[in-house]
A and B are shown apart, each in its own frame.
Chain A
Amino acid sequence: MDAEFGPILAARSAGLCVECGKCVTVCPMAEMYPDFGWETSPRGLVQLALRGRELLAGQGLWRCTQCEACTRTCPAGVDCCGLVADLRPLARAELGGEPAAEAVCAMCGAPLPPAPVLAYLRRALPQVPLEYLDLCPACRRERYIRNNS
């Protein structure tokens, strides 16, 4: 276990996971991605994190919506959502910010949901131009004011 991983796993109590799978039942990713499977589920992410760095190279970390449903439901007290949030900077460094890098708001530069989540949104929404999707909520309102006053 390297020096970066250890403290994160300890802080988020990853070692307490008993693999009960309750987090998988509440996770919205199951409905978002047709290829949802063990290794992209919250349970899988916790277990893979315990096993080492391979996790950082995959897509799994970037599919999470950070909804905290898993953390709320975990009977063992694992903060899975926080674990993903903490591992993302490591993964970003590992990937060089390249494949699954988060998009940023076109106006203010605030981080938007990661690419797989945005891709899900574009799949789920009607196939019409949705240019506002690359703006953060605050900027959508900012633009609303600008266009209307």
Chain B
Amino acid sequence: MASIQESPTPAAQAVPPVLSKAGAAGAEPGHARHASLASLRPARKPGWLERLFPPRRPTLVLDPARCTGCGACEMACSARDGGPARPEAARLQVLRDEGAGGNFAVFCQHCLDPLCLAACPQQAITRGKDGIVRIDSRLCAHCGLCVAACPEAAPRRVDGRTVKCDLCDGEPLCVAACPQGALSFSPGKSVHWIKYLRWTVQTLAFLLLVVVLTGAVCSLRVAGWSLACPLGVLQNVFSSKTILLTSLAAGLVLLVLALLAGRLFCGWLCPFGFLLDLAGTILPRRLGEKLRLPEVMRNRLAKYGVAGAAVGVSGVVGYQAFCAVCPIGTVCRSYGFQSTVAGAEFSLIPALALLEAGEKRSWCRYLCPVGALLGLCAKVGLLKISIGAARCKKFSCMRCASVCPMGIISENDLREGVSPRLDMAECIGCLRCVDICPHGAAVIRFAWQKSTPAERRGPAPCGGCAAGPAGREGGAA
């Protein structure tokens, strides 16, 4: 103890004994403004090319219906580096539910924007060009903050070291070891065919509705059949105080479509929606935070208010009031061969398109009264999107939530491990979630079907095996 008592050094004496946060700057100027490692990392800014053709996201996929909890994956994983097998040290962990027999596995999702990466003070976690999120063991201090930051605690602390799945660089041993085929490796989709189909349909619809049949969305009359914007019809009824059955029927067409297939019109056909999607793809994302609707307007009920106001004002002023400013109608009437561009009408479009850099489809989420009418029908409609209960990995996968343009898939629900419930009045049926889910957990279902997708049966049956001899395996001698 004597040596400890006699040890104060000159440096220690020079430091004021009072501890305070602010004191640090004065105490040692060299440390106060040290360069942070975080400043060395370039911010992740996906270019438009990367957004159009997103990189692969490799991941493990678990089919819980097939998992029997035998633990072969853990054994294979823990023995990967040649050491003895130790299931507790494996990078993926099998969870066995003794009550219902539902087995799950927790493993790294290799997120697009990993929370562990954001939390790592040593910048030791990187996302490689191959999409695999790795811990660089040369930089890792094994502080365990990634474990705390991950919603499913997928990185693990084992004997003071932090380990994490790196997918065995694309050939995972756990997948090879799984005797039931419950684990599989998905290299990530390279062709998202729903996406390309949607863009094609949207482009064709734009060309058809805007360029060829100018103004077709507002009203279209072909050989005795007529089609009209439901909101326009409604305004017309109130402004003219007369009900024409033919125009009502024309307005009902889109509503019936919404009853059958949700707001399919918004996601796949609406020419203004197409422009917004295009703007969202092209606009640089760094504009995002600044360009948002003010907080008061960001209320999903606002669009019903807009619809009500449009109808009410029409009744008072005697003409279709909203149609004067309607961006959908403006787009429809602006580009075609018989275009009638009006400056005041047109000014709304770039403003709304700019919002795409921030929140996607802000117009459709909060303001569009046509979408509001369609949404009311879609709510009681035939179809729904179900983000599945059992197959969905939840926690940190977030693929569906990150692509949803309407922002209706609750990231918080997913992080909490709950199946998110989708409000079909808000869903525009773009199917981005269905397209991107590697687990097959986002599916289209009829409204009355249960949310949980059907599970595949367990082990494949194999015939031709004679029954063994009868006997009790409890071999009491």
Interface set of A (CB-CB < 8 Å, partner B): 1, 6, 9-10, 14-15, 19, 26-32, 34-41, 44, 47-48, 50-51, 54-55, 57-60, 65-69, 112-113, 117-118, 120-121, 124-126, 128-133, 137, 140-141, 143-145, 147-149
Instruction: List residues of chain A with CB within 8 A of the CB of B118.
Output: 124-126
Among B18, B121, B160, the most chain A Cβ lie within 10 Å of the Cβ of: B121
- A8 to B55: give the CA distance in the assembly, Å: 53
Q: Give the contacting residue for A149; candidates B4, B99, B123, B416; CB below 8 A.
A: B99
Contact A69 B141, beta carbon cutoff 8 Å? yes
Instruction: List residues of chain B with CB within 8 A of the CB of A121.
Output: 119, 145, 148-149
Please judge, given known A-B contacts A28-B141, A50-B4, whether A140 and B152 are in contact too, CB under 8 Å.
Answer: yes
Minimal beta-carbon separation of B99 from chain A (angstroms): 7
Instruction: List residues of chain B with CB within 8 A of the CB of A113.
Output: 144-145, 148
- A37 to B11: give the CA distance in the assembly, Å: 13
Instruction: List residues of chain A with CB within 8 A of the CB of B101.
Output: 149
Contact A59 B416, beta carbon cutoff 8 Å? no
- A120 to B149: give the CA distance in the assembly, Å: 11
Q: Give the contacting residue for B3; candidates A15, A48, A60, A129; CB below 8 A.
A: A15
Does B100 make an interface contact (CB < 8 A)? yes
Among B1, B148, B389, the most chain A Cβ lie within 10 Å of the Cβ of: B148
Q: Give the contacting residue for A68; candidates B12, B27, B38, B160; CB below 8 A.
A: B160
Q: Which residue of A lies closest to B123 (CB)?
A: A31
Contact B102 A148, beta carbon cutoff 8 Å? yes
Contact A37 B25, beta carbon cutoff 8 Å? yes
Which 3 pairs of residues, A with B, have the shortest CB-CB distance? A37-B24, A58-B19, A137-B153
Q: Which residue of B lies closest to A118 (CB)?
A: B148
Does B104 make an interface contact (CB < 8 A)? yes
Contact B22 A147, beta carbon cutoff 8 Å? no
- A40 to B20: give the CA distance in the assembly, Å: 9
13 A-B residue pairs with Cβ-Cβ distance under 8 Å, sorted by A, are A9-B4, A19-B11, A32-B121, A37-B27, A38-B27, A54-B17, A59-B21, A117-B148, A120-B145, A121-B145, A131-B416, A147-B417, A148-B104
Does B366 make an interface contact (CB < 8 A)? no
Please judge, given known A-B contacts A15-B4, A50-B4, A67-B141, whether A149 and B15 are in contact too, CB under 8 Å.
Answer: no
Contact B23 A39, beta carbon cutoff 8 Å? yes
Contact B415 A28, beta carbon cutoff 8 Å? no
- A57 to B149: give the CA distance in the assembly, Å: 28
Contact A31 B1, beta carbon cutoff 8 Å? no
Please judge, given known A-B contacts A40-B24, A126-B115, whether A145 and B142 are in contact too, CB under 8 Å.
Answer: no
Interface set of B (CB-CB < 8 Å, partner A): 1, 3-5, 7-9, 11-12, 15, 17-25, 27-28, 31-32, 34, 36-38, 64, 93, 95, 97, 99-102, 104, 106, 113, 115, 118-119, 121-123, 141-145, 147-149, 151-153, 156, 160, 389-390, 394-395, 411-412, 415-418
Instruction: List residues of chain A with CB within 8 A of the CB of B23.
Output: 37, 39
Please judge, given known A-B contacts A113-B148, A121-B148, A130-B415, whether A144 and B106 are in contact too, CB under 8 Å.
Answer: yes
Q: Which residue of A lies closest to B156 (CB)?
A: A137
Contact A47 B411, beta carbon cutoff 8 Å? no
Contact B415 A39, beta carbon cutoff 8 Å? no
Instruction: List residues of chain B with CB within 8 A of the CB of A36.
Output: 24, 31, 34
Instruction: List residues of chain B with CB within 8 A of the CB of A129.
Output: 411-412, 415
Minimal beta-carbon separation of B125 from chain A (angstroms): 12
Contact A144 B95, beta carbon cutoff 8 Å? yes
Minimal beta-carbon separation of B36 from chain A (angstroms): 6
Q: Which residue of A lies closest to B155 (CB)?
A: A137
- A32 to B416: give the CA distance in the assembly, Å: 26
Please judge, given known A-B contacts A68-B142, A141-B106, whether A10 and B31 are in contact too, CB under 8 Å.
Answer: no
Among B31, B123, B149, the most chain A Cβ lie within 10 Å of the Cβ of: B31
Please judge, given known A-B contacts A6-B1, A59-B21, whether A125 and B149 are in contact too, CB under 8 Å.
Answer: yes
- 11 new A-B pairs (CB below 8 Å) besides A38-B31, A47-B11, A47-B15? A26-B141, A31-B123, A35-B21, A36-B31, A58-B20, A121-B149, A125-B118, A126-B118, A128-B411, A129-B412, A141-B93
Contact A132 B123, beta carbon cutoff 8 Å? no
- A40 to B122: give the CA distance in the assembly, Å: 17
Instruction: List residues of chain B with CB within 8 A of the CB of A148.
Output: 64, 102, 104, 389-390, 394, 417
- A47 to B389: give the CA distance in the assembly, Å: 54
- A78 to B101: give the CA distance in the assembly, Å: 49
Q: Which residue of A lies closest to B5 (CB)?
A: A1
Instruction: List residues of chain B with CB within 8 A of the CB of A51.
Output: 8, 12, 17
Contact B28 A38, beta carbon cutoff 8 Å? yes
Instruction: List residues of chain B with CB within 8 A of the CB of A67.
Output: 141-144
Contact A31 B122, beta carbon cutoff 8 Å? yes
Minimal beta-carbon separation of A119 from chain B (angstroms): 12
Contact B27 A39, beta carbon cutoff 8 Å? yes
Contact A50 B143, beta carbon cutoff 8 Å? no
Q: Give the contacting residue for B19; candidates A54, A125, A126, A133; CB below 8 A.
A: A54
Contact B1 A30, beta carbon cutoff 8 Å? no
- A77 to B102: give the CA distance in the assembly, Å: 48
Contact B19 A39, beta carbon cutoff 8 Å? yes
Contact A30 B24, beta carbon cutoff 8 Å? no
Minimal beta-carbon separation of B33 from chain A (angstroms): 9
